[in-house]
Amino acid sequence: MSRFQKIFLRNPLNGATHVAGFGKHRAWDDHIDDIGMATETLVLAKQHLYSEGIASQLASGAWDQIEKSHHAIEFAHRFVWSRDEQSIVGAIWASADRKGRTRFPMAACIQADRNGPAATRTFLNVIEQLCSSCKAAQTKEEVRNSFERARAEASNQMFLSSGFYSSEPNTKVREDQTLPALVALSVGLNARGGRGSGKGGQSKYFRLPTISKEVIENLEFWSVYLARQHNLDWPYLIIAPVAKSWIDLIVGEPVSNDFYCLKADETTVPVVSAKVEDAWTRRLEAEARDYLQKPRIVPSPIRQTRRSWWSKFLGQ
């Protein structure tokens, strides 16, 4: 069992919230001094997303080709990384250091004892405010003060918020676009073998359609679907680029190439879809349609006995 599998999003937070930041900012000559990296989960999050993910894509030149072909997007993403009843909600945005180097972004995130949908609803506005404050900040002190204010606000929101609510989007979900993607996701999660087995440090990647112009509704919609899968034993990371028509989903322990999606538009990486061809996929389609048609209630934050989420798809 890898350290990620054992530790990630399983820290004993005891109701505390942790606000962290890393990346580039114009108040620093190079990468900023890490802010608030108080848990091993946050350290692992930075390692996989930034030190290995973004850095490896830049070092390999993987993004150079899509930039030359004008199919690259800017860093402007919001994400929720969740496992069971603990999550990280965060943002990634284009930034630069004092020397004007712009290849690396900046990121900020909040870790708390909330499942993915509840964490998104509770903390995304705090992250948005922190993002705006960091962009406006001119000095290291101003950046650190922004994080201090975010810590206070996150703690306050944690105290005031409930982990149980309806997550119905204001936008009507288009079944013709979303249903094939839900079926493809179910089929993909059930696939055995290969890189996507979800075991031993491996992952599954999906590009899925948005259901709304609002980032929070997209994160909630897909997070509720995943959170309903019997208290997931594997973390899922949903990344929503701002004002785009897709979200990216990574299930399991990411590998560096999973983060190619951060700069790739829908021409380079298309949305998944699946055809309903047999009894098995018809059953998956019926389950997906049931999810679309019934009220989507966020699961209770009360911890239950863990049961492998793969068992739903493997018939165990």
Give residue for tokens 């049931």: 290
Q: What integer pLDDT is reported at residue 261 of this predicted model? A: 98
Contacts for 217 with CB less than 8 Å, ≥ 6 apart: 169, 170, 171, 211
What predicted TM-score, i.e. pTM, was given to this entire model? 0.90
**Between 168 and 137, whose confidence is greater?**
137
Give residue for tokens 């322990």: 253
CA distance 181 to 160: 35
Q: Which residues of 186-220 are buried (b: 16+ CB within 10 A; e: fewer)?
A: bbbbeeeeeebebeeebbbbbbbbbbbeebbbbbb
Q: How confident is the model at residue 277 (pLDDT cuts 50, 70, 90)?
A: confident
pLDDT at 211 over 80: yes
Q: What residues are paired with 176 via a beta bridge?
A: none
Residues above pLDDT 90, as percent of the chain: 73
pLDDT at 194 over 70: no
Tokens of 63: 């993004």
Q: What integer pLDDT is reported at residue 238 of this predicted model? A: 98
Give the pLDDT confidence of 129-152 residue by residue, as tens digits. Answer: 999 999 999 999 999 999 999 999
Q: What is the mean pLDDT of the chain?
A: 88
Identity of the amino acid at 21: G
What is the mean pLDDT of the segment spanning 27-31? 98
Cα Rg for the chain, rounded, in angstroms?
Answer: 19
Instruction: Enter the DSSP assignment of 166.
Output: B
Q: What integer pLDDT is reported at residue 159 of this predicted model? A: 86
Q: Residue 233: name the closest of 206, 258, 251, 247 by CA.
A: 251
Q: Residue 171: name the closest of 121, 122, 240, 220 by CA.
A: 220
CA distance 229 to 311: 9
CA distance 314 to 53: 30
Tell me phi and psi for residue 294, to 5 degrees: -95, 155
Q: How many CA atoms lie within 13 A of 136 on its CB side?
A: 9
pLDDT at 228 over 80: no
pLDDT at 315 over 50: no
Q: Using CA of residue 26, residue 32, residue 35, residue 41, what is the dihedral sign? A: positive
Domain boundary assignment for the chain: 1-316
CA distance 72 to 9: 31
Q: What integer pLDDT is reported at residue 281 of this predicted model? A: 92
What is the mean pLDDT of the segment spanning 245-260? 97
Q: Where are the alpha helices (DSSP H) in the chain?
A: 3-7, 40-46, 55-60, 62-68, 116-136, 140-160, 175-190, 215-227, 279-293, 310-314
